[in-house]
Structure 1
Amino acid sequence: MKIAVVSPNKVHLNEIGKQLQAAGHAAVLTEGGSAMLAQVAEQDQPDLMLVEGIGCDAASFAPVEALTTRHPAIAVLLLCPGCTREFLLNAMRAGVREVLAAPVQAADLEAAVTRICGKLRGARSGPGGQVLAFIPCKGGSGATFLATSLGCQLAQSGSVLLVDLNLQFGDALSFVHDAQPASTLADVARGIKRLDASFLAACAVKVAPNFSVLAAPEDHGEAVEITAAHVEAVLALAVQHYDFVLVDIGRQVGTLAIKALDRATRIYPVMQASVPSLRNAKKLLAIFKSLDYGAGKVELVVNRFDHKDTIGVADIERALGKFTIHTVPNRYKPVTAAIDHGEPLAAASPSHPVLRQVARLADTLHAQPQPARGLFARLLRRAPAGA
């Protein structure tokens, strides 16, 4: 992996170079500030860029965001002496992978480099991106919230496109963005003959440097014009240009949904620990079995889970059979507040315990998940005491 280091501090720059060399890495060292980022990216084309000297205010992150937007394949790691929460949030919004304390310790630097290398290899391995389908077992299960939250998390380690396939009631975009989309899936369907990567990207809303959402149409008349062939064409193209393609599917398992489910690497039925949700989950799993989806393709997500609930994980396994089960804790108020404000929970409440579980789910999608040690990753993943 090619590493570039940019710092205005010559002493720190040389020390980082020595640390990387001692660990067996080769690095290109550039003395300078954030104005050098674009030039280094174009000339050296690194896989990973370590940057020191970014200011704390949002405006200071403009060169970083420009870099991650223009070169999404380059992972960016920031070095910061005494990081504030504001700094970490601005870093997340600019598409930064991790933040480490400066001056950086050799062990912390090597752990971060190893971690990012593993994630880059996982995101780039295989013939194309992964397709992840979210489908609610019952209305209000939280499938859209989890799909958008996972999209935000995965965008830290790869490019993500979320396709809202809930054509009647789809509102995935509103969970992470507060504006109306200029184009939707219906516009892609109408222009299917000229579909290419540029057209697809232009029709999607870029909510973060590595995260875009292709919204569902607002008009029902436009929705009915979308066919299974359109869905197949969009997904076939998307997996060639995005590391992760998330599909938010409504409750109807029709021809369009089946087209997405057939292509899915993993299917996540989202349920709650209640009897009605269990009943619906059982029906949904029967449909999957009839479609010849193996148990390894389906992983259950139990949302708003509380260990004090009458129905536990063991009860769910007895009722539904042996599946991989992920649980997400019940923290209703802050989640609802984030949704109402049209912003990701990671931005509204970055230390929330729900994000810890979403991060764990994201780790299962990487070939070599590593424990997070950077300040940025710890902020996102660490639950408050007593959670």
Structure 2
Amino acid sequence: MKIKVISPNLDRAEQVAQVVRGSGSGLDVRAAAGSPQSLLVAVNGSRPGLVVLDAVDAAGLDAIERLTHANPQIELIVISAEQSPAFLMKAMQAGVREVLPPPVSDAALQAAVQRYARKRQPAPAAQQGEVLAFMACKGGSGASFLAANLAHMLSTRGERTVALLDLDLQFGDALLMLSDQKAASDVAEVARNIGRLDAELLRSAMVQVSDTLSVLPAPAELSQALEVKAAHIEAIIKQARQMFDFVVLDVGRSIDALSLQALDQATRIFPVLQLSLPQARDAKRLRALFRSLEYPSQKICWLVNRYQKSGDITLESLQQTLGNQTVRTIPNHFSAVSASVNQGVPIDKLSHNSPVARALNALATWVAPVQAGKKDGWLSSLFGAST
């Protein structure tokens, strides 16, 4: 494994190279004097897989980007006194794998090199997490709330890990349902770096809501949503499936190449609607689309949100409209849901005994039974499910 260490001073380069050699066996580490502006010359002919670049400032990032554009197979670890959020973001966009502040300790530098070495090792047989896609039949149906809160509830069950991917790219706000943390990255940023996508990049782009729940937010700027392509969505979901037991998708309600890519990869699809004539009509159209895509009926589970038995449209008539497919209900409890959304706190934390929290817990039990092959019958009965 070839590694090149470049520093403005040759003695300093040799010193850093000696530390890098201590990262493990089988490393071919060379040192050279140079600057970011001389990168292309410095790596020409040597073809290193990793470059450790010392003493980088903001002006050097343009040269780094030219190198990574011309040589996408080369990864970089940068040592820089500049640690501002703007610099770190630009460094990631330029293709830098890690930025370490000076004076960098031997242990920190060796750990960074070891992470790179592990990435180069053949991957073990990857797990395939279950993909749950939530799609709104009409705006305001509550699909984002249900997706976010189900993701949270699944993450509290045993050692299961959960990713929530906000694919409502123009108006997504799934993170706000769970946390007030600020996102350092988003779906569009990962898409811009799709050539370097791996577990570490995806994890670094996500907001860690808890030890078992991570969220990849939608872009903050509407214009950035246009940069995301269907191929990006495919790659992100496939990577997430290898990292998490469950991948929950908030797809929004648009039918386009991106949402269809997400639905294709889903193991279960949860279309969300309310019992009103316009939403029932949209659900019927969506069912026709699913049939044209040849999705098996067991892949689809319709969720009626804000359900009230006294409504003008009955659950039975909706089931007939949908060809007697599985329909489950989430009851109406406006005060608890409104408080949860406005405070950005999962509903089972804020109002554990609310009908909505109980129904979502039952849905989580149905998706991920507490014991393999066994479901909690009294919880399932809360839905009034029928097939």
Q: Same fold by TM-score, threshold 0.5 exceeded?
A: yes
After superposition, the Cα gap between the structure-2 partners of 1:210 and 1:382, relative to the gap in structure 1 and judged at 3 Å, is farther
- 1:110-259 to 2 correspondences below 5 Å: 127-157=127-157, 158-259=160-261
Quick one: which of 351, 354, 373 aligns to 2:353?
351
- 2:142 and 2:272 in contact (8 A); partners too: yes
* Corresponding position of 2:99: none
Whether the 8 Å CA contact 1:175–1:342 is kept in 2: the answer is yes
Q: CA RMSD in A?
A: 2.1
Structure number with higher relative contact order (C-alpha < 8 Å, ≥ 6 residues apart): 1
Please state how far the C-alpha of 1:290 moved relative to its aligned partner: 1.3
Identity %: 42
Please list every run of at least 4 consecutive aligned residues from structure 1 whose deviation after the TM superposition is greater than 4 angstroms: none
Q: Aligned to 2:306, what secondary structure does the other structure show? A: strand
Alpha-carbon separation, structure 1, partners of 2:377 and 2:161: 20
The answer for the alignment partner of 2:281 in structure 1 is: 279
CA distance in structure 1 between the aligned counterparts of 2:336 and 2:188, rounded to whole angstroms: 33
- Aligned match of 1:371: 376
SS at the partner of 2:367? coil
Could you tell me whether the CA contact under 8 Å between 1:131 and 1:245 is conserved in 2? yes
Q: 1:215 to 1:320 in 2, by over 3 A?
A: same
Tell me the CA shift for residue 191 of structure 1: 1.3
**Cα distance, 1:372 vs structure 2:** 9.8
Q: Residues 160-181 of structure 1: CA distance to partner in whole angstroms, max 9, x if unpaired?
A: 0011001111111111112331
Inter-partner Cα distance in structure 1 for 2:358 and 2:381: 6
Aligned residue identity for 2:144: T
CA distance in 2, matches of 1:382, 1:369: 14
Deviation of 1:310 after TM superposition, in Å, equals 2.2
**Is there any run of 5+ residues in structure 1 with no aligned partner, and where?**
1-125
The CA distance in 1 between the partners of 2:341 and 2:291, in whole Å, is: 33
User: Please, what TM-score do these two structures have when normalized by structure 2?
Assistant: 0.62
Deviation for aligned residue 1:221: 2.1
Q: Say which SS state the counterpart of residue 246 (structure 1) adopts.
A: strand
Aligned pair 1:324/2:319, yes or no?
no
Tell me if the contact between 2:135 and 2:272 (Cα under 8 Å) persists in the aligned partners. yes
Contact 1:267 1:299 in 2 (8 A): yes
TM-score by length of 1: 0.62
* 2:314 aligned partner: 312
> Take 1:312 and 1:382, find their aligned partners in 2: how far apart are those partners?
18
Q: 2:376 is aligned with what amino acid?
A: P
How far apart in 2 are the matches of 1:369 and 1:164? Answer: 31
SS at match of 1:162: strand
> Aligned residue pairs: how many?
252
Q: Distance in 2 between matches of 1:278 and 1:219?
A: 32
Checking the alignment, whether the CA contact within 8 Å between 2:129 and 2:241 is kept in structure 1 is yes
Give the residue type in structure 1 aligned to 2:232: H
The equivalent residue for 1:260 is 262
For residue 254 of structure 1, report the CA deviation from its aligned partner.
0.5
The Cα of 1:220 is off from its aligned counterpart by: 2.0
CA contact (8 A) 1:185 1:215 kept: yes
Q: Distance in 1 between matches of 2:339 and 2:359?
A: 19
Q: Which amino acid aligns with 1:142?
A: G
Rg bigger for which structure?
A: 2
